[in-house]
Structure 1
Amino acid sequence: MKLFLDSALPASWALPASCPPVQGVTTNPSLVLQAGLSVTLSTYTGLLQAVADAGLPELMLQLPRPDATEALQWLDVLGAKAADVGVTLTIKLPCHTDWLPCIRAMQSRDQAILLTGLSNPVQLLWAQAHQAQYVAPYIGRLVADGRDVWPLMQACVALQNEGPALLAASIKSPDVLARLIACGAAAATLPPSSLVEWAGDALTEAAMAQFEKDVASSQSKPALS
């Protein structure tokens, strides 16, 4: 499974050695605002540079408006910047018919897209029909709405060989991440804070403490001759 950092704050991308390697960064207008930034082309080109400076290979950026003309104008700049700094760019768009002109505009340039906010299997089939490279359901939001998310996750995985890859978002616990790994999800995106928190575990710490205690106790025992 590929891991992406769900963040528009470059300072949060530096992870301790206890964390697994990450493939890149995903972001959206809400995360850009949370980072104290404006959703502008200048901000996005800056994020591309920051991803390159961090030594990460990929960035997924969500466009701000369902305006196909503007989308192509932004893509001209972002695509050139991505090529210049050696970062693979994926454009994120909401999984909604309002964004269909933008979807078609991106595809006219052979630009990889991720359809975000996917919430049901009909939308999954729609995303497949429109040849999205990724789909991103918000698992936490679906659970909060009282839905059983796992049939949809399994359906996403079942289509991965011939359709969009699953990039799972809004993961609220390591147990959910474990189930996604087990069911074969291609990728997941997590806030850096979650990745850091879940990199350690109290049970591991307790086992280490017991080993240290037992090593110390063993020093008073005779050596095996």
Structure 2
Amino acid sequence: MKLYLDTADTRAWQLPAGCPPLQGVTTNPALVEQAGLPVTLATYLRLVQAAGALRLPELMLQLPRADVAEAHDWLARLLPEAGQARLRLTIKLPCHPAWAPVIREVHAWGLPLLLTGLSNPMQLLWARAQNAQYVAPYLGRLHAEGREVWPLVQACIALQRDGVQLLAASIRDADTFGRLIAAGAHAATVRPEFAAGLAIDPLTDAAMAQFDDAIARSLAADGTAQIHRSGGE
């Protein structure tokens, strides 16, 4: 399963030791705002440049409005910048029919498309009909609303054979993360603090301490035996 970070804070665009290689970064207007940045074309261009400088394979940027003319203007600037950065640029849009004209505009530029906020199976089928490369259900948000998330996850995974890849988002616990790997999810996007929290585990640390204690006792016993043997000679 490929791993993406979900943040617009470029200072957090790396994983600590103990994590797998980073596939890329995903952002949206809310994350841009949380990073203290304006949701502007200039900001997005800086994010593309930062991703290129870090040699990230992929950056997923969400367009701010369902405005075809604006989308055209932004893509005309973003695509050459991504090419110069040698960066795969994927465009995120809400999984909603109001965005259908912008979806067509993204396809016209030949860019990969991610439909985000997917919340039910009908939306999944619609996303497939829109030729989306990725779908991103917010699992934590769905669970908080009392919805059963795993039938939707399983449906997304079943459609991966049709080329619609699951990018699971809003993952809030290690059990969900593990189940996604076991189920065959294509990718997941997590917050930097979530990834860092799993890179080192207290149970692993406890096992290492146990091993160290055993080694220390063994070496101490071997040293005592060496002294006794030397004294006997």
Give the structure-2-normalised TM-score: 0.93
Indicate the residue corresponding to 2:22 in structure 1. 22
- Structure 1 residue 78 corresponds to structure 2 residue 73: no
Indicate the residue corresponding to 2:52 in structure 1. 52
Greater mean alpha carbon deviation, residues 89-98 or residues 6-15: 6-15
Indicate the residue corresponding to 1:4 in structure 2. 4
SS of match in other structure, 2:189: strand
Superposition CA RMSD, Å: 1.0
Shift of 1:149: 0.4
Q: What is the total number of aligned residue pairs between the two structures?
A: 223
Write out aligned runs for 1:132-211 (5 A).
132-211=132-211
Shift of 1:141: 0.4
Shift of 1:68: 0.9
- Structure 1 residue 43 corresponds to structure 2 residue 43: yes
Higher relative helix content = 2
SS of match in other structure, 1:159: helix
Shift of 1:221: 3.1
Give the structure-1-normalised TM-score: 0.97
Q: Please give the alpha-carbon distance, in whole angstroms, between the structure 2 residues aligned to 1:67 and 1:60.
A: 19
Post-superposition CA distance 1:47-92 (Å, at most 9, x none): 0010111121100000000001110111110001001110000000
Q: Please give the alpha-carbon distance, in whole angstroms, between the structure 2 residues aligned to 1:14 and 1:57.
A: 12
Post-superposition CA distance 1:155-176 (Å, at most 9, x none): 0000001131000000001111
- Structure 1 residue 104 corresponds to structure 2 residue 104: yes
Unpaired runs of at least 5, structure 1? none
Q: Please give the alpha-carbon distance, in whole angstroms, between the structure 2 residues aligned to 1:18 and 1:220.
A: 31
Q: Please give the alpha-carbon distance, in whole angstroms, between the structure 2 residues aligned to 1:16 and 1:144.
A: 29
Post-superposition CA distance 1:199-221 (Å, at most 9, x none): 11111000000001111111233
Indicate the residue corresponding to 1:221 in structure 2. 221
Q: Please give the alpha-carbon distance, in whole angstroms, between the structure 1 residues aligned to 2:14 and 2:91.
A: 23
SS of match in other structure, 2:8: coil
Q: Please give the alpha-carbon distance, in whole angstroms, between the structure 2 residues aligned to 1:220 and 1:49.
A: 56
Report the identity percentage: 59
Unpaired runs of at least 5, structure 2? 226-233
SS of match in other structure, 1:188: strand
Shift of 1:193: 1.1
Does structure 1 retain, via aligned residues, the 8 Å contact 2:16–2:199? Answer: no
SS of match in other structure, 2:185: coil
